[in-house]
Amino acid sequence: MHPKQLLDACTELVKRTLTFEHPADAVVSRFFRENRNLGPRERATLAETAYTVLRKKLLFEALAHSGSGPRERRLAILGFAECLKEQSGKEPKTRARDGFDSDSFVKAALLPQEFKWLKDCESIQPEDLMEAHRHNLPEWLVAPLKAQLGDEFWALAASMERSAPLDLRVNILNAKRSDVRKELEKAGIQAQPTPYSPWGLRVDGKPALARLDAFTRGAIEVQDEGSQLLALLLDAKRGEMVVDFCAGAGGKTLAIGAAMRNTGRLYAFDVSGHRLEALKPRLARSGLSNVHPAAIAHERDERIKRLAGKIDRVLVDAPCSGLGTLRRNPDLKWRQSPKAVEELTQKQAAILESSARLVKAGGRLVYATCSILPQENEAIAEAFSAAHPDFVPLSAGELLEQLKVEDGDALCSGGENGRRYVRLWPHRHETDGFFAAVWVKKA
């Protein structure tokens, strides 16, 4: 595709994502379905341009004031140029063989005055920018993050403007991490063991996985290392009765089922039958037969009542703001609001309350989110502990130590010794932002 045509397509995609009527990943997927002639590299450029604009929206909108032409095109130009520069840096050998030069490619897409404007924008130094244009976060989100992190806030803000690495979870039911790593290497894919999860591999770049034998036979699944650690923390054993209360598309469900060695009974509950449908092909690939997906009407559904006091371990991966996933879903910071978060905290408290009824004496309860806001995390956990003296808080640091997670204390915070909760941050741990609290029900 000619650079001008590619930029025009980027402009249209940027325009669609900035309406915020639907999640950005759904908008991008629909755009690709409507334009099936696009090649892999063109798709990568389109998607990354749109995501770059979402990540740096405040800065790009400020710079766009000095340009001319339609606003969406100016924003797309800034995202397009940055995206191509990054792609060129990440794929030097391939690009060199193709004779690719990102600056020349961008210049071919632009009018002369647009190229001059772009170069003027690129010459601005970060230290000359206003604070909001450096962090590119909505103002309501800045204060709670600064309160938690202090000067570390800027490292978090910078990490949120980068795309997340691609993490895989090796299915320990039918594969070994070392063997899968060698298999990927033979296919030309470099992967390193994840630093914390014993099941994970971190892959260089964004290779196509769907046609790999390792993928089709269920030896690997795409799953962020942080998400793997939450499943590990549940520590489900062979033959137990386990519930994944908000299973969604089942990433953690599959990890838990494999940890149970395909024994016992693992219920995957969710209020969205549509999300559970997405679990079915993954479940078929995994080789697991101990997983039982079930759609429920709400957290007080009759299915839940029938299992009250019978379950060994319950994972509550609660619906949340998702603000820990801004590297993957940068539109969330513009689609969420303080009011929406407040409504979510009420739902989180209700779901945790209902799910706790499932746990039998001596059983384990894990509450988790992919949020970085304390009101969705520590506040919910502490309120639950205060209201339920029959649930004893466990030290996440001690549990990770027992599970032989290397440097597990670095993943924890809170409590007298800083080991009470799992607290994962993109800038510290290269995972999505996650939180987890653990309790055992008194015998």
Residues classed as catalytic: 370
Identify whether the C-beta of residue 286 lies closer than 8 Å to the C-beta of residue 256. no
> What contacts 111, CB < 8 A, 6 or more positions away?
none
Helices (H) and strands (E) in the chain, counts: 22, 13
Kindly state the tokens that stand for 221.
Answer: 């699944």
Dist. CA 91–CA 342, nearest whole Å:
43
Bridge-based pairing state of the strands 166-170 and 191-193: unpaired
> What contacts 88, CB < 8 A, 6 or more positions away?
95, 100, 101, 102
Dist. CA 203–CA 196, nearest whole Å:
15
Dist. CA 134–CA 435, nearest whole Å:
26
Q: Where would I find the H helices in 110-250? A: 112-122, 131-135, 139-149, 153-160, 177-186, 213-216, 225-234
Dist. CA 368–CA 260, nearest whole Å:
20
Q: CA triplet 347, 337, 47: central angle to 5 degrees?
A: 105
> What contacts 324, CB < 8 A, 6 or more positions away?
226, 369, 370, 371, 372, 424, 426, 432, 433, 434, 435
Terminal C-alpha separation, the chain: 66
Identify whether the C-beta of residue 39 lies closer than 8 Å to the C-beta of residue 45. no
Nearest alpha carbon to residue 420 among 438, 406, 404, 441: 438
Dist. CA 152–CA 410, nearest whole Å:
15
Q: Report which DSSP code applies to 63.
A: H
Question: Strand, coil or helix: what is 76?
Answer: helix
Beta bridge partners of 170: 220
Return the exposure string of 105-126: e unless at least 16 CB atoms fall within 10 Å of the residue's CB, then b: bbbebbeeebbebbeebeeeee
